[in-house]
Amino acid sequence: MTQPRLPRVAYITSRGHSGSTLLSLLLSGHSRVVSAGELKMLVQPDPQRRLCSCHRLVADACPFWSAVQERVIAALGVPLAQLALTDQGDAAMFARHNGALYAAIAAESGCEVIVDSSKSLPRLLRLLEVCQSGTESGFELLPIHLHRGPFGSMNSARKRGEELRRAAFNYTRMFFLTRDGLRRQHALRVYYERLAADPRAEMARVMRWLGLPLEEAQFQWREGVRRDIHGNAMRFGSSAEIRLDQSWRQQLSWRQKLGVLAWTLPVRLRSHWLFQRTRRLIEPGLRPFA
């Protein structure tokens, strides 16, 4: 008798406002994929940060997520809000809790691929440790590094009230931390600009990597059921139109563009060596272009 295949988890890691909600929704349009959204938010005390997309309810009140919770309680004896999803618990507890959560989502959805768009790099690295520890993890992990170009990322950060130089430093630092963390992993890098400009071509590449055929329904994702926890407000919209956001061209001044260009040059050159040599100049301090 063949063993049932473990759930496969496509984990999206990225910085905020890099298109993770768009990518997860395009994936969730597939008949064999369910997007669970930012699962790390299930343990958030603020109910507004753990609303589902299907009913706009917290997990305890949503029919789908409450059914997932019943399965988790049966397996572990704890509700979703008490799971070890970030830095809680030891390695064994983290492995057990995440394995039970993914198994419950797969069983309740009937899908073989789960999209976890938590974005958090520490969570991803901890999940990778589980899969490589030699113990039974209960899931297969497929990391996706979603990257957005510096100008769009910095403009989004500016609109959220972040100081531009600090945002550029964190952007550069996190790029190399993510690249180094995934260096020896079977991981896929996806670029937001390519995804938004030509979603069909980029999604064909993503689906080949996941081992699934591209389906036309993925581009009509507004018509399907979405299960995402948290995420960008676009998940509650009505339009399926995808547009490349290039508002930074008008909204950043030439001095700000020059600053972003200089501060993120190591990322553009993919040079960790250059970042190490120039990080004191990039790190927040002097603010000639702020």
Predicted model pTM: 0.92
Residue 229 predicted with pLDDT over 50: yes
Residue 3 predicted with pLDDT over 60: no
Residue 239 predicted with pLDDT over 90: no
Question: Percent of the chain having pLDDT more than 70?
Answer: 93
Predicted confidence band at 232 (pLDDT cuts at 50, 70, 90)? confident
Give dist(CA 87, CA 39) in Å, integer.
13
Between β-strands 8-13 and 33-37, what pairing exists: parallel, antiparallel or unpaired?
Answer: unpaired
pLDDT, average across residues 230-248: 78
H helices of 182-253, in order, are 192-197, 199-210, 248-251
Distance separating the N- and C-terminal Cα atoms of the chain: 64
| pLDDT digits 0-9 by tens, 135-190 | 677 899 999 999 999 999 999 999 999 999 999 999 999 999 999 999 989 899 99
Residue 18 phi, psi dihedral angles, 5° rounding: -110, 5
**Polymer length in residues for the chain:** 290
pLDDT, average across residues 3-21: 87
DSSP SS3 for 232: coil
Cβ-count burial 181-195 (b if 16+ within 10 Å, e if not): bbeebebbebbbbeb
Give dist(CA 290, CA 282) in Å, integer.
12
pLDDT computed for residue 116 by the predictor = 97
Residue 2 predicted with pLDDT over 60: no
pLDDT computed for residue 141 by the predictor = 95
pLDDT computed for residue 136 by the predictor = 73
Give dist(CA 169, CA 46) in Å, integer.
29
Q: Taking the CB of residue 81, how many other CB atoms lie within 10 A of it? A: 15
| pLDDT digits 0-9 by tens, 115-131 | 999 999 999 999 999 99
Predicted confidence band at 289 (pLDDT cuts at 50, 70, 90)? very low
pLDDT computed for residue 284 by the predictor = 64
DSSP SS3 for 118: strand
The CATH-assigned architecture of domain 8-150+184-240 is 3-Layer(aba) Sandwich (3.40)
Contact of 233 with 49, CB cutoff 8 Å? no
Cβ-count burial 2-18 (b if 16+ within 10 Å, e if not): eeeebbbbbbbbbbebb
Predicted confidence band at 288 (pLDDT cuts at 50, 70, 90)? very low
Residue 112 predicted with pLDDT over 80: yes
Contact of 69 with 59, CB cutoff 8 Å? yes
H or E stretch covering 36:
strand 33-37
| pLDDT digits 0-9 by tens, 177-228 | 999 999 989 899 999 999 999 999 999 999 999 999 999 999 987 777 889 9
Beta-carbon contacts of 278 under 8 Å, excluding residues fewer than 6 positions away, are 265, 266
On average, the pLDDT of the chain sits at 90
**Nearest in space to 37 (alpha carbons), one of 212, 182, 245, 235:** 235
Contact of 273 with 177, CB cutoff 8 Å? no
Contact of 24 with 32, CB cutoff 8 Å? no
Give dist(CA 83, CA 105) in Å, integer.
14
Give dist(CA 75, CA 61) in Å, integer.
20
Residue 74 predicted with pLDDT over 50: yes
- Token couple for 259: 């600053």
pLDDT, average across residues 20-46: 93
pLDDT, average across residues 1-25: 84
In the chain, where the domains are located? 8-150+184-240
Give dist(CA 275, CA 171) in Å, integer.
12
| pLDDT digits 0-9 by tens, 38-70 | 999 999 988 888 889 888 899 889 999 999 999
Give dist(CA 109, CA 128) in Å, integer.
24
pLDDT computed for residue 237 by the predictor = 67
Residue 157 phi, psi dihedral angles, 5° rounding: -65, -40
